[in-house]
């Protein structure tokens, strides 16, 4: 009898272990460049779809079973029908507001990239711009250089962060961020930008600038 109980307990432990391993296994996630078929295999069919001259957008709304919230996922495809931008946010159903906003860099909501047809600066060309901005004598001259660059170029978040490091005061950083925000191609990496601000109030303001891009 004891042997049978021990055997049953052992089997239960094995089943629980297998279940735990299954729960902790790495789930596939949406990556840049994926096709619509690959996204659908991971997330299923979208709740809403829309399109414009830049491509198609899929929206998913997934309600949580353990909290009064909804996970909103937005996937943007370019004209080549491949993923160019991804955004995930959690909405409090009772207040219809984003959860986690203003708490830490990884929690800020990320805006969606606007245009896949951009002239992105490669490392060499960005290095040239960076050096010119760095070597300018006054902030006013630096602002002019950044403003001119924004007329035809698009930036990654890491490049924007590098430019912000050239400015000492928050007000100057906010001014530069306001110029380049509409020209950011990977807003999902905005945490790189938030790290350039030491205070949470400054990160909040940076997030507002990016949200209004």
10 Å Cβ neighbour count for 87?
18
DSSP state of 188: G
213 residues of the chain, pLDDT tens digit each: 545 555 555 555 545 444 444 444 456 788 888 999 999 999 999 988 887 777 888 988 877 666 677 787 888 888 889 988 887 777 666 665 555 443 343 444 444 444 444 456 788 888 999 999 999 989 999 999 999 988 878 888 999 999 999 998 999 999 999 999 988 888 888 889 999 998 888 899 999 999 875
Q: What is the pLDDT of residue 110?
A: 47
Q: Could you give the C-alpha distances from 125 to 68, 122, 130, 131, 157, in angstroms and in order?
A: 48, 6, 9, 10, 16
Provide the terminal-to-terminal Cα distance of the chain, rounded to the nearest Å: 71
Q: Are 102 and 108 in contact (CB under 8 A)?
A: yes
- How many residues make up the chain in this entry? 213
Q: What is the pLDDT of residue 142?
A: 93
- CA pair distance 80, 68, nearest whole angstrom: 37
- CA pair distance 23, 15, nearest whole angstrom: 12
Q: What is the pLDDT of residue 25?
A: 46
- CA pair distance 11, 3, nearest whole angstrom: 12
Q: What is the pLDDT of residue 16?
A: 46
- CA pair distance 43, 37, nearest whole angstrom: 10
10 Å Cβ neighbour count for 99?
16
Q: Are 55 and 79 in contact (CB under 8 A)?
A: yes
Q: What is the pLDDT of residue 95?
A: 61
Q: Are 63 and 48 in contact (CB under 8 A)?
A: no
- CA pair distance 72, 91, nearest whole angstrom: 7
Q: What is the pLDDT of residue 176?
A: 95
Q: What pTM does this model have?
A: 0.48
């Amino acid at each position: 009898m004891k042997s049978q109980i021990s055997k049953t307990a052992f089997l239960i432990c094995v089943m629980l272990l297998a279940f735990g391993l299954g729960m902790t296994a790495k789930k596939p996630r949406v990556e840049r460049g994926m096709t619509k078929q690959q996204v659908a295999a991971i997330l299923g069919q979208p709740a809403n779809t829309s399109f414009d001259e830049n491509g198609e957008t899929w929206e998913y709304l997934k309600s949580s079973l353990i909290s009064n919230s909804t996970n909103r996922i937005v996937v943007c495809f370019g004209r080549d029908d491949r993923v160019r931008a991804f955004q995930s946010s959690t909405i409090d159903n009772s207040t219809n507001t984003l959860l986690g906003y203003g708490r830490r860099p990884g929690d800020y909501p990320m805006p969606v990239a606007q245009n896949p047809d951009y002239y992105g600066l490669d490392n060499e060309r960005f290095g040239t711009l960076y050096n010119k901005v760095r070597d300018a004598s006054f902030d006013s001259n630096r602002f002019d250089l950044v403003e001119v660059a924004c007329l035809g170029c698009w930036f990654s978040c890491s490049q924007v962060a590098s430019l912000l490091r050239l400015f000492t005061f928050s007000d100057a950083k906010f001014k530069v961020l306001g110029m380049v925000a509409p020209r950011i191609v990977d807003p999902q990496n905005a945490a790189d930008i938030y790290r350039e601000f030491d205070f949470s109030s400054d990160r909040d303001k940076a997030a507002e600038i990016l949200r209004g891009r």
